[in-house]
């Protein structure tokens, strides 16, 4: 069953990791796509071709999500190409881990700008076509770390907790216009973001996951399909954990 047939979806951070799998899974479910990377590179062009094989339309763009001017121009270009936008997935994100004692101002600022300000930039820009259509689903990638906190990730946890507050507020602000806004909180997912962690840290995470495995991009993408689809029509302002019941 195709759950997103005919819908137009925007996915940021699509060049690799979870964003790439979200784009592919959305295409499988019939969504036309606007995929965004830092720049239009080979990774984005090959993803475009893979998605198009599912018979959907795919447009590619490059922009730095933390830059208001670039994201506004991106949103304008998407509306020009697709006219309507039904789903926005704010997925792009980074880590710059360090103990607070050693964390630089740059490490703090970069994570807040890329993870949190980007969600403000893109939601602000894409609410316009959604308001016009009187419909929309906004999906923001947060993290279990934004709910529970994590030593060595004060910047990342603050950005992801900020996303939850932003999500709940947007749900209240735009609900009367039939625009839903939810957050997805992945736990330990196998991507480049987690490959870099020391082996003992990885084993400690895995030991504590009741489902006894790391999550996959597909696990997260399927949750996004649900939240983007009409199946979740009465769900807004919520945080959907995709963590294998990881203890918080
Ligand atoms: P990833 O593999 O590191 O991929 C992140 C993507 O975001 C990359 O394509 C990257 O572009 C893009 N990006 C980074 N900064 C950008 C910027 N300024 N402008 C535009 N694009 C930018 O990360 P992931 O594991 O897929 O994570 C995706 C989302 O899930 C993030 O928000 C992350 O915080 C969240 N999450 C992940 C996990 C996990 O276990 N992996 C757990 C919880 C939450 P480049 O490829 O050009 O670098």
- 3-state SS of the chain is CCCCCCCEEEEECCCCHHHHHHHHHHHHCCCEEEEEECCCCHHHHHHHHHHHCCCCCEEEEECCCCCHHHHHHHHHHHHHHHCCCCEEEECCCCCCCCCCCCCCHHHHHHHHHHHHHHHHHHHHHHHHHHHHHCCEEEEEECCHHHHHCCCCCHHHHHHHHHHHHHHHHHHHHHHHHCEEEEEEEECCECCHHHHCCCHHHHHHHHHCCCCCCCECHHHHHHHHHHHHCHHHCCCCCCEEEECCCCCC
Which CATH code is given to the segment(s) 8-242? 3.40.50.720
For atom 8 of ligand 1, the residue with the nearest CA is 13
Distance 12 CA to ligand 1 centre (A): 9
Its pTM stands at: 0.98
**pLDDT tens sequence for the chain (248 residues):** 999 999 999 999 999 999 999 999 999 999 999 999 999 999 999 999 999 999 999 999 999 999 999 999 999 999 999 999 999 999 999 999 999 999 999 999 999 999 999 999 999 999 999 999 999 999 999 999 999 999 999 999 999 999 999 999 999 999 999 999 999 999 999 998 888 888 998 898 899 999 999 999 999 999 999 999 999 999 999 999 999 999 99
Q: Which of 13, 111, 187 to mutate to test the pocket of ligand 1 (most atoms within 8 A of CB)?
A: 13
């Amino acid at each position: 069953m195709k759950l997103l047939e005919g819908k137009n979806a925007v996915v940021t951070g699509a060049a690799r990791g979870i964003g790439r799998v979200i784009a592919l899974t959305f295409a499988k479910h019939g969504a036309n796509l606007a995929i965004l990377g830092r720049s239009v590179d080979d990774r984005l062009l090959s993803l475009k071709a893979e998605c198009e094989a599912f018979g959907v339309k795919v447009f590619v763009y490059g922009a730095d999500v933390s830059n208001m001017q670039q994201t506004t121009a991106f949103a304008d270009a998407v509306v020009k190409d697709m006219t309507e936008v039904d789903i926005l997935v704010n997925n792009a994100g980074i880590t710059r881990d360090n103990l607070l004692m050693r964390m630089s101002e740059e490490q703090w600022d970069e994570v807040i700008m890329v993870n949190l300000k980007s969600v403000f930039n893109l939601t602000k820009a894409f609410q316009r076509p959604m308001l016009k259509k009187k419909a929309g689903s906004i999906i923001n990638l947060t993290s279990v770390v934004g709910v529970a906190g994590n030593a060595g990730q004060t910047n990342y946890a603050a950005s992801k907790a900020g996303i939850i507050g932003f999500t709940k507020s947007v749900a209240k602000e735009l609900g009367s216009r039939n625009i839903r806004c939810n957050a997805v909180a992945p736990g330990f997912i196998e991507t480049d973001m987690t490959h870099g962690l020391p082996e003992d840290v990885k084993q400690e995470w895995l030991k504590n996951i009741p489902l006894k495995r790391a999550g996959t991009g597909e696990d997260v993408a399927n949750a996004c399909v649900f939240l983007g689809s009409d199946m979740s029509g009465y769900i807004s302002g919520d945080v959907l954990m995709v963590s294998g019941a990881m203890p918080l």
